[in-house]
Chain A
């Protein structure tokens, strides 16, 4: 009984206390990442952080994710038109990354805007892993 409680606690810590919705989104990307690369070894918050902060410089108005979201995931961001963006960090905005359709909508738009390409399942999962750790 004690052991089961510990395992459950450890699992919650490992996945950053992901909600059921967040876990199902992560599972979706993990399956897609495995399909793309059978040697896929899990998502990395560190890779996600590097991806979030990278200056792609493909689009001068939106050189990086952090151009709008700021470099601190726990801070609110601002769109180019001046609208507030709720913080990306799950600790501050708990319902982030829990609705796959919404998550896919924003990756589809923002990867195209910032990188002029689609993001891979691994990039998406790493990004969510980083935001879940924040």
Chain B
């Protein structure tokens, strides 16, 4: 009995450790990774845009803290949409207009806004992403739900579904998606 408990504890410790190590190596959250796989692209330039740091500089930490600022600030009001679902110009336009953000003032202090913009730009839909397919270069969608890709995937959902009190909005991705990037609950 004692041996079996010890084995269980060891196994649990290994699983936790493995999860931590994987998280460190992979960087993006499960949601991000799954979303990237769903749209069949790489996480649009993640890593590529990061400046290669000289020894001892803090560039990777900046990238990480940009993601944290994005998740905590943007995620306070809505699902922290994966950056790779919109092109660079869309994120730039959204971040430039935060004081009138879909009917609400979502303004941020300049330093945090800059940090989040850099994160979004570095991880936006890159060349070859299906998000950009059929998108006019002059076109700057401000909502993921305006993109042709989103509408192609969601065309079977009745509009009344989005009005349900427990869903409220097309922007409430997790009302139906479980965060794994696949399927929906009902």
Q: Which of A's residues lie within 8 Å of B, judged by CB? A: 59, 61-62, 78-83, 101, 105, 108-110, 112-113
B174: nearest residue on chain A (CB-CB)?
A: A82
Question: Which residues of A lie under 8 Å from residue B167 when comparing CB positions?
Answer: 82
* B48 on interface, CB distance cutoff 8 Å: no
Q: Which residues of A contact B77 (CB under 8 A)?
A: 79-81, 83
Is there a chain A Cβ closer than 8 Å to B64's Cβ? no
Bound Cα distance from A109 to B99, whole angstroms: 8
- Decide: B175 and A82 in contact? CB cutoff 8 A: yes
Give the docked Cα–Cα distance between A78 and B175 (Å): 13
- Which residues of B are found within 8 Å of A113, using beta-carbon distances? 103-105
B168–A82 touching, CB < 8 Å? yes
Closest to B80 in A: A83
How distant is the Cα of A112 from the Cα of B108 in the complex, in angstroms? 13
Interface residues of B in 147-184 (CB under 8 A from A): 167-169, 171-172, 175
Cα A78 to Cα B106 with chains together (Å): 16
Known interface pairs A78-B168, A82-B169; A62-B104 also in contact (CB < 8 Å): yes
Specify which of A81, A108, A110 is in contact with B79 (CB 8 Å cutoff).
A81
| Cα-based distance from A110 to B106 in the complex (angstroms) | 8
B107 within 8 A of A: yes
Interchain nearest-CB distance for A41 vs B (Å):
31
- Chain B residue with minimal CB distance to A79? B77
A-B contact count (CB 8 A): 50
Chain A residue nearest to B112 (CB atoms) is A105
Q: Tell me, in angstroms, the Cα distance from A89 to B75 when the chains sit together.
A: 21
Contact A108 B169 (CB under 8 A): no
Q: Chain B, 93-135, contact with A by CB distance < 8 Å: what is the 0/1 string?
A: 0000001000111111100000000000000000000000000
Question: A79 near B78 (CB under 8 angstroms)?
Answer: yes
Bound-state CA distance A82–B80 (Å) is 12
Q: Which residues of A contact B168 (CB under 8 A)?
A: 78, 80-82
The chain A residue sitting closest to B108, CB to CB, is A105
> Could you tell me if B105 and A83 are in contact, using CB atoms closer than 8 angstroms?
no
Report the bound CA distance from A59 to B105 in whole Å: 12
Q: Which of B76, B103, B108 contacts A59 (CB 8 A)?
A: B103
Q: Which residues of B contact A105 (CB under 8 A)?
A: 108-109
Known: A82-B78, A82-B167, A83-B78. A108 touches B105 (CB 8 A): yes
Q: List A contacts of B172 (CB < 8 A).
A: 81-83
Interface contacts beyond A81-B171, A83-B75, A101-B109: sample of 11 additional A-B pairs, CB < 8 Å, sorted by A = A78-B168, A82-B79, A82-B168, A82-B172, A83-B172, A105-B108, A105-B109, A109-B105, A109-B106, A113-B104, A113-B105
Task: Tell me which residues across on chain A come within 8 A of B169, comparing CB atoms.
Answer: 80-82
Q: A81–B107 contact, CB under 8 A?
A: no
Find chain B residues with CB under 8 A from A112 CB.
99, 105
21 inter-chain pairs at a CB distance below 8 angstroms, sorted by A residue, are: A59-B103, A61-B104, A79-B76, A80-B168, A81-B78, A81-B79, A81-B169, A82-B78, A82-B168, A82-B175, A83-B76, A83-B77, A83-B79, A105-B108, A105-B109, A109-B104, A110-B105, A112-B99, A112-B105, A113-B104, A113-B105
